[in-house]
Chain A
Amino acid sequence: MTSQPEQGGGQAESLTRLTEQLSRLPGIGPRSAQRLAYHVIRAPKEETRELAEALLGVIETVRFCSICQNVTQTDPCPRCALPVEDQSIICVVEEPLDVVAIERSGAFKGRYHVLHGLLSPMDGVTPENLRIRELIERLRDDTVKEVIIATNPSMEGEVTAMYVQGLIAPLGVRVTRLARGLPSGSDLEFADAVTVARALEGRQEF
């Protein structure tokens, strides 16, 4: 086994600092961080400057949409600024990538609301850390008739869904939840027991 990459020992301080910052990124260990740092040094200066500018550009221009809370460069975001087919329905998701996933389906014609996380005290996430208050604000006028809660079917997703549902119910807005069960195109024979049980629970009339 080779030893751990040396930190600091004989290495330029600015390089150490870059390595440390890079290793804080998700999925990057100390060794990968060091590889990236050395790549940055060897790459043409112009390329690196572009990367740095792109990073700065992101934090300066990207913000949260004041309506749906999705990440955007303009406020309100393009989706909220344009008229949509169905104003009366909001789909609540955990994170921006979930909006992309639902958009890809082409099956949803309403608006979105991004919570930016799920309730999980063990990860330090309590209701105040989520964009729930902003969602309730959006339901004040009578435009919205239905809220679809599209959080993941994990334990935290379920509890978050129940929490949001509990706040919305008194407002007289219909609350629905995404169906759970067999993925289409799959084979019943090969589905695991939990999935089959869920699909049976969620069965529907023809």
Chain B
Amino acid sequence: MSAIRVTKLSLTHFRNYAAQDFQPADGVTVLAGDNGQGKTNLLESLFILATGHSHRADTDREVIGWSAAREPIPYSRIAADVTAGDGRERVLELVMQLAPRGQAGEPTAVAERTIGPSGLRGGTLQKGYKVNGVRQRSASSVGDLAVVLAGPEEVDLFAGPPADRRRAIDSTALQTDAEYARELRRYERLVTQRNAALRDARERGSTQRTEDMRLWEQELIRAGALLLGHRITMIDVLQKEMLAAHTEFTGRTGHLALEYRSTVDIAGNGGASPDLQQSLADALEGAWGRDSATATTSVGPHRDDLRVVSGDVDLGVYGSRGQQRTAALALVIAQSAYIGQQLGDEPVILLDDPLSELDADRRERVLRHCLTPGRQVLITTADVELIPAEVRSHAAMYTVKNGRIEAA
């Protein structure tokens, strides 16, 4: 299968990179370096360019690096030359800037900004996204660049909080479907609006649904049902691919099931495909008393979870760390397969030091799977010795040190 490749990456004021151009190899690129030098940041920049947001929770504004403090408007720029499987070339560019509060695009005096523990503060974060120099309305490059990322957070996916798992599957869905990306943004905003409306009603001592509440819910149901339908179809594919990858990694056929645990009745009655809008409406109706008392929305895709079950055992709860990590890596491979099927092009695989805690045998199996010819892979490692010599001989080797990338 053909694959998406990044031929050039330019970072400006991105985390600890002041200005860096980098040309990854067509196949495997190994980025070695000590912790805190910028290896993860480099992979993160590609993830943000592909999905519009960071894979780390709530850190979008922190990506604007300290080197941007002297700019009239502090900004961070990620630009990449991307070649699709059919040879079509695109230049993708994402600029994130801190605009002064209230008025967009007007410069403020530099001294008005303060630097807090997590970077530049003050102003509102704006994102501008361009393809081949033409401004786009949303920062989601469906079909232009697609990535999957496996890093320390991802390998702990099944042991961590449900929000991480939702973000993981959302990142896959929104890279393959513009409608999903759009409806996800709307849905999140609608939940905020409904919660605010519930809070307002509670303050006025009203427990009846007002007409405007009904309208927020109607929109919420429409967007939410679309997300649910999309996720259910996607999980079907992920489940099959994950089992195959897991079998390959462990060398034995096992029982591994990926389960979508919904707060909404998605099974339907009688097995026919359920009307998801109706199911979500019923769930909201059932939760009305609780929701209006707590002024939160307790059911819907934003509260659903993804579990991995082996036999009858929930691996997230009872699995060993090794089992959880192998399952999480298998999910990343499954996500990559799903993206490949949807786009017709394999995504770029970003492996952020995920191998250090696997035994030598599994490490080799995982790498061998990722290193199919034609596919672009970027691997970071603190210890080059963890990468098998056979892989290193084919790879482009780089060292990352203090926000600089140099050929090793």
Using a CB–CB cutoff of 8 Å, the interface residues on chain A facing chain B are: 1-2, 4, 26-32, 119-122, 124, 126-127, 155-156, 158-159, 162-163, 166-167, 190, 192-195
Contacts and interface: CB of A to CB of B under 8 A. Distances in A.
A203 B252 CA distance: 56
Contact of A155 (B101, B114, B186): B186
Contact of A192 (B114, B138, B197, B212): B138
B117 interface: no
Contacts of A30: 112
7 tightest A-B contacts by CB? Answer: A27-B103, A121-B196, A27-B102, A121-B197, A26-B102, A31-B112, A122-B196
B216 interface: yes
B122 interface: yes
B182 interface: yes
Interface string B197-232: 101100000000011100110010000000000000
A192 B136 contact: yes
Contacts of A29: 100-101, 108, 112, 122
B245 interface: no
A135 to B, nearest CB: 15
B189 A31 contact: no
B200 A1 contact: no
Given A166-B211, A190-B134, A194-B182, A126 B100 contact: no
26 contacts: A1-B114, A27-B106, A28-B102, A29-B100, A29-B108, A31-B109, A31-B111, A32-B108, A32-B112, A119-B212, A120-B193, A121-B200, A121-B216, A122-B192, A122-B193, A122-B196, A126-B197, A126-B212, A127-B210, A159-B215, A159-B216, A159-B219, A163-B212, A163-B215, A166-B215, A167-B211
A110 B265 CA distance: 50
Contact of B100 (A27, A122, A190, A193): A27
B48 interface: no
- The interface residues of chain B, by DSSP majority, are classed as helix
Contacts of B142: 193
B18 interface: no
Chain B contact residues (Cβ within 8 angstroms of A): what range? 35 or more
B200 A126 contact: yes
Nearest to A165: B215
B199 A121 contact: yes
Contacts of B195: 121-122
Contacts of A167: 211
Centre residue among A1, A2, A121, A167 by max chain B CB count within 10 A: A121
Given A159-B215, A194-B182, 11 more contacts: A26-B103, A29-B108, A29-B112, A120-B193, A120-B196, A121-B199, A122-B196, A155-B219, A159-B193, A159-B216, A193-B178
A195 B106 CA distance: 27
B337 to A, nearest CB: 25
Contacts of B101: 27, 29
A1 B137 contact: no
B389 interface: no
Q: Which of B106, B114, B138, B196 has the most CB of A within 10 A?
A: B196
Contacts of B134: 190
A31 B106 CA distance: 14
B392 to A, nearest CB: 41
Interface of B: 69, 100-103, 106, 108-109, 111-115, 122, 134, 136-138, 142, 178, 182, 186, 189-190, 192-197, 199-200, 210-212, 215-216, 219
Contacts of B194: 121
A4 B178 CA distance: 43
A127 to B, nearest CB: 5
Contacts of B216: 121, 159
A190 B222 CA distance: 29
Contacts of B211: 127, 163, 166-167
A58 to B, nearest CB: 20
B109 A159 contact: no
Contact of A194 (B137, B190, B200, B212): B137
Given A121-B196, A121-B200, A195-B137, A155 B189 contact: yes
Contacts of A158: 219
B398 to A, nearest CB: 33
Contacts of B210: 127
A156 B195 CA distance: 15
A192 B137 contact: yes
A33 B178 CA distance: 43
B9 to A, nearest CB: 24
Contacts of B192: 122
Nearest to A35: B109
Most B C-beta atoms less than 10 A away, residue of A159, A167, A193: A193
A185 to B, nearest CB: 16
A4 B100 CA distance: 16
A30 B123 CA distance: 12
Contacts of A194: 137-138, 178, 182
A146 to B, nearest CB: 22
Given A159-B216, A192-B137, A31 B108 contact: yes
A190 B134 CA distance: 7
A122 B295 CA distance: 12
Nearest to A162: B215
A93 to B, nearest CB: 19
Contacts of A27: 100-103, 106
Given A30-B112, A32-B109, A192-B136, A1 B212 contact: no
Contacts of A159: 193, 212, 215-216, 219
